[in-house]
Structure 1
Amino acid sequence: MTALPMKRHAMFTLSRLSSPLADLLAITAADGTLHALDFADYAERLHRLFVRHHRGATLTEGPAPAALSAAVTAYFAGDMAALDAVPVAGIGSTFQRRVWAALRQIPAGETRSYGQLAAAIGQPSASRAVGLANGANPIGIVVPCHRVIGTSGALTGYAGGVERKAWLLRHEGALAPLLA
């Protein structure tokens, strides 16, 4: 059990899930709501983002909720809609929540630029702020920040690495064969 130094006390479960890219770490609440998801080799980032939103929480290792495990397995097996029903925590600032909700509206197989995402939330001049919110997303893959690319089509930064971003976009059918 890992205790996190925070203000309020809440219990969360840290689980490990398999993926073709690397193991994933998931943090869920007792009700099955997903609060964080990242690659296991980015555990420090996962914890840092989790702590930002959950002061006073206690993290205990345990199994992932069956529905989450099934959804992740189905997604990597080719069911691109499998993650759509995963319940995610309503954490972050009001602006971040708007950006993260807009990310979930980008269909698998499609991408958006930071400018398009900013326009989608009604703030077309907020591309940089959208980029910062995208980078602070604690729930990778399920809140698909990997679907945001540069205006030129460049695969701009991704917390899990640009190679993984490219893999995820190929998996979803969003990258042209030349970029495969």
Structure 2
Amino acid sequence: MSIRLMWCSVLVVGVALGGLSCTPTADAGQEAGLQEEEVRGDFCGGIAGIPCAEGFACVDDPRDDCDPDRGGADCGGICRRENPAACTGREPGQKYVSRDPTECTLIDFICREGYTPFFNECGCGCQRQKPSCDYNDPNRSYISRDPEVCATIRFLCAEGFQPFFNECGCGCEAVR
């Protein structure tokens, strides 16, 4: 099947399903008195599954009529800064040297290989080094940069390419 024919098929199906898209709800956009500055944010989600930058979460956009809680499929969202969780001292991948931020300014510590220092409002210590992801690798095409999303989606790769899944996401890579 040629790529041109596949795109035409996608467009035809999209037009046919256009009537089944999101429908307005009575309370759409009236989320608990949200102010205009509270709803600003980069676009995310939608049919393309566009991710947010690190430290941000994709939430439903209260300005549109699409409501995922009322059957709206592929609703777009906006990126909002994630609220940091309360410090427990048991955060995954973190090992505290001190839980006193003031004391942390006086401590000189070195992390073992594979770990990097961290300093936050809860203290300081060593955390696992994040993987270095090369999203510009010409031999790879990412479908998602979120491993959790990768665990829930199915995709096929073109001939000469094979699927890959790692801590950076998933997609298709050239067969070597």
User: TM class by shorter-chain length?
Assistant: under 0.3
Judging by fraction of residues, say which structure has more helix: 1
Work out which structure has the larger RCO, using CA pairs closer than 8 Å and 6 or more positions apart in sequence. Answer: 1
TM-score by length of 2: 0.24
Query: TM-score, normalised on structure 1?
Result: 0.23
Q: Which structure has greater strand proportion?
A: 2
